[in-house]
Every structure is written in C-alpha cells, then in structure tokens.
Structure 1
Amino acid sequence: MLGQHHKDSRLAWVVAFGAHLCKLLHDGLLKSFGVMLPSLSSEFNTSNWVVGLSISLMIVVGGLFAVIANPFLKRFQPRLLLIVFAILIFIGFILCAFSSSWTTFSIALIVVIGIPLRLSWYLMLTSLADYFEKHYTVANSIAYLGSSVALVIFAPLTQYLLNTYGLKGTLLVLGSISLHVSICGAVLKSSKSYQNITYSSDSNEENNFTSYIWKVVKEIFDTKLFVQPLFLAMLAAEFGTQYCFAGWVIYLVSYATSIGLSPYYATTLSASGGAGSFIGTLAISLIFKITDNTVYVFMSFLAIAGFSLLIYPLSSSFPILVAASFVFGMAVNACMVACMVLAKSLEGHQSSIVAWIICASSFGRLLAGFLTGWIRDVTGSYIISFMILGGVMLSSTCVFAVLACIGITKRTS
C-alpha cells in the first residue's frame, strides 16, 4: 500500500487533519439530528424513541457495512470512495428535506446518509494506521478533536438554522456542509496497487464446499481476534462508551428542556461537553507521553465518564450540569482515543480491528437511540435513562478491572 517514507511524514499530518474534518462532520451531523429530534417528532407526528431509533440506525447500519464490506473496500482507492460518499450524503439530505412521510425520511437517513457517512469515518480512521507509527496517539487525538469541535459548533448552529430557516432549510444547509467529506478524500495519496480479495485454500478444502466457505468467512471477518480476552473487553468498552455518548448526544437537549432550561441553555450544555472533549483529547496525548499503561488509563476515564453521567438525575442546577457536561465530554473523548491506541497493540489486521470497533460502537449507538427514548416515553422523564447511561459506563470499567485482577492486561500494559 504505502511506503515507509510516508510514515509520520508531512503528508501524514495532512491526513490527520483530514481525519479531524471527517470526525467533525460525522459527529456534528449526528448531533444536529439530536437537536432536530423535537422538531422531527412534531413534524412527522412520531414518538421520541422512534426518531431516536432511526438516528441510531443511521450509524449502526454503516457500522455493519464496515465489517462486511471491509475486504471489498480494499479494492478501491479511498480518495475516490470518499468523494462518492460525499455526493451520496448530500443526496440523502435532499431526500430528507423533501420527504412527506417518516418512512421515506428514515430510509433516506439510514441508507443514503448513514452508510456512506459511517464508511467515510472508517476509511479515514484506518488510514491513520497506514500513515503513522511513532506519532499514532497524537494523530488519533487530532482526529478525535473533530468531535469536540462538532459539539461546540453544530448544536448552536443547528438551533440557529431551525429558528431561521425551519426544518427543511436546516436539512438543505446541513446537506451542503456534508459535501466537505470530499475534502477528506482529497488529502489521501493514491496508490497504484490496491489489495485484491484472495483466500488461501487447498484442494481438499475446495472439495469440501462447507469447509471452504467457513475458511473464507474466517478470513473476511478475522475471527482469530475473538480468542483475545483483551479484544473482547475492548469491544465491550467501546460498546458502552458509544452507547453512553450517543444517548447523551441525542437526548441531552431534550432532557435539558424537559427540566425547564431554555433551548439556548440546553445547547450550551452541548457546547460545554464539546469544550471538555477538546481538553480530554489533548490531555490523553500528554498522559501517553508520560505512561504507556494504556489499559489503566482507559479504565480510569471510563469511571470518570460514568460518574459524571450520574450527576444529571441528581441535579437540575444549570452550573452543575455545565460542569458535568464538561467532565463527561473530557472523559468520553479520552476513552475513544485510548481505545484506538489499545487497538494498535493487539494482534491481528488493523483494518479488521477498526472495523469491529466501529461495528461495536454502532450497536451501542443503536441501543442508546432506542432504549433511552423508550424509557423516557414510558416513565415520562429522563432520570432513569441517564442513570442507566452512567451504569453502563461503570460496567465497562468493571470489565477491565476484572481482567486486570487476573493479569490478562499485564502484557499490553
């Protein structure tokens, strides 16, 4: 694929900033749909949990495609794919803007926007492993800073667009913004030879069709990864992290307005979380320069994020909620970067590891979109929903604590 002279080069840093832009658009557009959730529910006369489920499916379907399509994506130039994905996302926003029913809107949201948007982030994330070796942690931090910027910018921007242009105008403006995904592809270097899909086999296996098919499946999905307890724990932690992050992103504004805060103050909480995630992403880079104990750093930030989420059901004070949002944003972004650094140390193909991480995170976001909204509709408040979010985050901490106690994490640490 790429020569060693591209590792940690000036071109590599351009790719890192391309990944930053891709993450900014990825999380920013997700946050925008969270801000639009009350408007979408009212416009289409649909329950909150149904809208939240569709927003989550936008991410989870793309995550599944990352695993399934991983061997096939290797046959094409990533820069070309990203330009095509940008056009598809733009078309998806146009379809959403002119949809007359929730069924049409959700299909455009999930299929035409969700799949290419998720695969765009997957391609940029795997590119970092190709372009970086020595400064891989810093490169991931730069990429994940896009999430911080997105939380600060997109929540108030979307609210302003809604107040000024209405729902349809907002969707059209966001669709125009989504075309910037093509810039992410433009920074990648074209390679003359891309991987073809080849599967090792022998004559005996070809004679036994079932055995041959099973071998092909194992090579596509890299099933050898699942014998590593640390890989399974990392998937569980990523599932929990993204479940909590998505539940917080999608329902924070709705929760804040439900306890009496104005839309302006509600979006301020998102901006506070974005500022915290910015600090957390910078902090994790500095921490890994001091220590290489990835597992324990990961575990610590998981615990901090879990406890910060438990503050929401206990207080309705705006200053306290601002502080909780800041701490949660700081911890959860640090967790995301730490997860990718930990993934780099595992045995296996990096593209397969990243694909499974994205798949696990997608299912976490799916469950968050459905369960958080459903519990709110059943109970009439978000108190239990946010208690569950905090509990899930703390459960992820416990998984790593158990592995640490039995010594499985020592080799990586």
Structure 2
Amino acid sequence: MVKDSARSWLVLLVVTFSMFLEVGTIKAFSVLLPDIEQQLDTHLWIVGSSIAIMTGFGYTFGLLTDSIIKLFSPRVCVMASGLIATVGLIVCSFATNSFTLLFGLILSGFLLVQETVVQGIIPDYFERYYETAVGIYSCGTALAILTFPLATQLVLDVYGWKGTLLLISGIVLHSIPCGALLKSEKSRASDYEPILDHQSTSNDKGPQLSLVRHFFKTLGLHLLTSKDFVTRVFIPALVLGYTLTGWLIYMVSFVVSKNASLKEATIVVTSGGFGMMTVRIGIFLLHKIMTYKQLVYLASVTMTLSMILMTVFTGLIALNIISVIFGAAIGVLGTELFISAKINSHESEHFLAIAWLNLAHGLASILSGFVTGIIFDMTGSFTLSFNILAGASLVTAISLGFGDIF
C-alpha cells in the first residue's frame, strides 16, 4: 500500500467522520439528559452513568479489535459496528425505562469500537504526514462539540428527545457507506509470528507457557510493563477519560444549574468545541515551538485551572471564555496522546496501543459518569464534582514527571 497517497487522504475523511459521530452522539445525549431524566422519572446519575457505560463498554470491547481485524477486514468491522450502533440508538428512542435505555446505549457503544478500528489503521496509510493526519481526524471530535449541541437543541425543540435520537441514528447509519471506502483485505495478519514453536512443545510445560504468551500478546498486556507507555499513555488516558467524560455529559446540566437556559448552556459547550477545533487545526504550529512534554504539561495545568474557574464564575461571558480555554487544553492533550501511543509502542502493536489507550479512557469514563452524577444528586451542586475533575486533570502532569524522574 502506498502511504501518504490520495487514497490515504480519502480514508482520513472516513476516520474524521467516525470521530465526529462518536463524540457527537455522546454530546447529543448530554443535551438530551435533562429531558430523558424527566421523561423516565429517574435520577440524574442513573442516566449519566448509563451514557458513561456506553463509552466504557465500547472502549473495553475495542481491546479485542486487534484480534477481530485478523478475522475480518477494517471495512467489515466499521460497517458492522455502525449498523449495531444505529440499532442501539433506535432502541434508546423507544426506551420507557432505565433498563431499556441502558441496553440501547450498550449497543450504541459499538461506535467506540468503530473509533478504535479507524484510529488503528492510520499508520497503514500515513508515514510522513502521520502527525498531520492525527491532528486532522482529531478535528472530528472538536467539530462534533462545535455543532452537535446546538443542532441537537434545535431538533429537540421540534421533535422531542425520542425523535432527535431517531434522526441521530439516521446520521450514524452513514458510517456503513463510509466504511465501504476502507480496504477490504484483512489487516496486518502477517506482522505477527506464530506463538507456538518447536522448542515449546518439547516438554510438558511448553503448551501452557505458549498459551500464556499467546494471551499476553493477543491483549497486548506486555505494553503495561513499559514504564513509558504507562506514564505517558495509559495514565494520561485515564485522566482524559475521567475529565472529558464528566465535562461532556454534565456540562450542559452544570451551566443550567447556574440559572442559565438550556440554549445558553449549549452555547457554552459549543465554545469548548471552538477552542478544541482551533488548537487542533494549528497543532502542527505548536509542535514547531514546543516539545511534546511541554504541550502535555501545559494542557494538564490549563485543564485544572479552567475547571476550577468554571465553579467560581457564574456569568455567561466568563463561562464561554473559560470553556474555550478548557476545550483548547483538551484538544492538545487528546491529540498528543495518540502521537505518544505510536511513539511508545512497536509499529505492529499500534492497534493494541490504541486499544489500551481507549480502554483506560473508557474505564475512567464509567467512573466519571457515576461519581460526578451521584455527588450532584447528594449535594445538589456540581461544585465538588467539578473540583474533583480539576484535581484529576493535574494527574497527567504528575504521571509524566514521575516517568521522567524514574
């Protein structure tokens, strides 16, 4: 396959669209959250945790992506996951209780599996322009935050939350023709050497040892024995998952709790998307003046300070400015993590590195969805939960510093 070719840029559009769908769907649910909570007559934390479980399930299942693409092509994986996610959103639109909603959200989580697939194939298409490609497809996330909240609010006013989910399911269905643009052959099966060898079968313990080695290699558990991978990828991904998910799911409700209208709250969230979009478009310029570590340190501290300031200020102008800054910091950290995953893993392990990155993100997402929501239901305020999000943001800088020292 010719890398950095015209076809590579076409595939990049598919990857960007997939990122747009995934984050856009989560952000749409955050706008719909108050209406869903009221319609199902349940607690905020139950709906918020269900949305977070969607993220966590999708990323956890994505850990098997590397094995799945040896059996099926990326084209089949993307098309199948898009179809399942579409069905899940339709189920959500017909939900009459929390259990039906959770089931639909779990199916919708296959959008996250799709994301792991498309992120993992980027090194197959790009070499010289890899960092540029990461910056471009990361713009899909920013574009979703920039457009989905307001669009969801407008549709919500006309069709209600059930009709809105049906429309979103129609958009997600477009991932099927987009997936058809990917290559049809099975991916990178030849990059892996057979685990069993003649020496391992020469004694009784050989087969058992080979099974253990096969298990570790299939799931990429050996990556967690690398100090650099843990401190520069896995732990920062945990932080990003916890902070970003709390912001994505509860930011609208948080701003509404400051006596703002739902439309004003969605505008604040859109400001965050603007900041994220701006920094990701110009990420290549930041790489010219700052190193990877400097960018991560700056993003971590900025996320912490801006999250704290969100709990202090109540004016919409101030909240919009802070949201822009926070979105920019998230944009930097999210982009640098994918670049770091490639740097701190072998080329043949890229799918596994992305899968572990996303798994960390997903596990932290579940925790964030539950903790942030339950604290609000217990205290009636987002102040404590958002301060916890702020404290978590600083862990990225601590982890990177620990890795540098030791």
Q: Residue 199 in 1 paired to residue 214 in 2?
A: no
How far 1:215 sits from its partner (Å)? 1.4
- Helix, strand or coil at the partner of 2:121: helix
How far 1:94 sits from its partner (Å)? 1.6
Which residue matches 1:342? 340
Distance 1:161 1:398, change over 3 A: same
1:318-333 equivalences in 2 (<5 Å)? 318-333=316-331
Contiguous gaps of at least 5 residues in structure 2: none
Which residue matches 1:161? 155
Which residue matches 2:117? 123
Asked if the contact 2:66–2:351 (Cα under 8 Å) also holds between the matched residues in 1, the reply is: yes
Q: 1:105 corresponds to which letter in structure 2?
A: L
Rounded Cα–Cα distance in structure 2 between residues aligned with 1:193 and 1:364 = 29
Which residue matches 2:396? 396
Q: Residue 379 in 1 paired to residue 373 in 2?
A: no
Distance 1:204 1:290, change over 3 A: farther
1:79-158 equivalences in 2 (<5 Å)? 79-110=75-106, 112-114=107-109, 116-158=110-152
How far 1:186 sits from its partner (Å)? 2.5
Distance 1:303 1:218, change over 3 A: same
Contiguous gaps of at least 5 residues in structure 1: 409-413
Asked if the contact 2:58–2:112 (Cα under 8 Å) also holds between the matched residues in 1, the reply is: yes
Asked if the contact 2:196–2:210 (Cα under 8 Å) also holds between the matched residues in 1, the reply is: no
Which residue matches 1:278? 277
Which of 212, 215, 239 is the aligned partner of 1:214? Answer: 212
How far 1:35 sits from its partner (Å)? 0.8
Distance 1:272 1:205, change over 3 A: farther
How far 1:100 sits from its partner (Å)? 2.5
Q: 1:327 corresponds to which letter in structure 2?
A: I
- Helix, strand or coil at the partner of 1:36: helix
How far 1:386 sits from its partner (Å)? 0.8
Rounded Cα–Cα distance in structure 2 between residues aligned with 1:21 and 1:289 = 27
How far 1:378 sits from its partner (Å)? 0.9
Q: Residue 13 in 1 paired to residue 9 in 2?
A: yes
Rounded Cα–Cα distance in structure 1 between residues aligned with 2:187 and 2:374 = 48
Rounded Cα–Cα distance in structure 1 between residues aligned with 2:150 and 2:204 = 58
Rounded Cα–Cα distance in structure 1 between residues aligned with 2:396 and 2:260 = 31
How far 1:343 sits from its partner (Å)? 1.3
Q: What is the CA deviation profile of residues 275-296 of structure 1, one whole-angstrom value per residue up to 9, with x for unaligned ones?
A: 00011212322122445x3222
Q: What is the CA deviation profile of residues 354-410 of structure 1, one whole-angstrom value per residue up to 9, with x for unaligned ones?
A: 110010011121111111001111111000111111110012212212333x2x6xx
Q: What is the CA deviation profile of residues 295-324 of structure 1, one whole-angstrom value per residue up to 9, with x for unaligned ones?
A: 222222121112111111111111111011
Asked if the contact 1:78–1:188 (Cα under 8 Å) also holds between the matched residues in 2, the reply is: yes
Q: 1:226 corresponds to which letter in structure 2?
A: L
Asked if the contact 2:40–2:97 (Cα under 8 Å) also holds between the matched residues in 1, the reply is: yes
Rounded Cα–Cα distance in structure 2 between residues aligned with 1:91 and 1:403 = 43
TM-score by length of 1: 0.92
Which residue matches 2:23? 27
Q: What is the CA deviation profile of residues 107-129 of structure 1, one whole-angstrom value per residue up to 9, with x for unaligned ones?
A: 1211x211x21111111101111
Distance 1:353 1:205, change over 3 A: farther
Q: 2:403 corresponds to which letter in structure 1?
A: L
Rounded Cα–Cα distance in structure 1 between residues aligned with 2:230 and 2:303 = 21
Count how many residue pairs are aligned between Structure 1 and Structure 2.
399
How far 1:184 sits from its partner (Å)? 3.3
Q: Residue 230 in 1 paired to residue 232 in 2?
A: no
Asked if the contact 2:242–2:361 (Cα under 8 Å) also holds between the matched residues in 1, the reply is: yes
Distance 1:393 1:194, change over 3 A: closer
Q: Residue 360 in 1 paired to residue 356 in 2?
A: no
Which residue matches 1:170? 164
How far 1:194 sits from its partner (Å)? 5.8
Which residue matches 1:411? none
Which residue matches 1:253? 252
The percent identity for this pair of structures is: 29
Asked if the contact 1:63–1:119 (Cα under 8 Å) also holds between the matched residues in 2, the reply is: yes
Which of 60, 63, 67 is the aligned partner of 2:59? Answer: 63
How far 1:72 sits from its partner (Å)? 2.4
Q: What is the CA deviation profile of residues 237-282 of structure 1, one whole-angstrom value per residue up to 9, with x for unaligned ones?
A: 1110121111011101101111100111100011100100011212
TM-score by length of 2: 0.94
How far 1:19 sits from its partner (Å)? 1.1
How far 1:340 sits from its partner (Å)? 0.9
Q: 1:236 corresponds to which letter in structure 2?
A: I
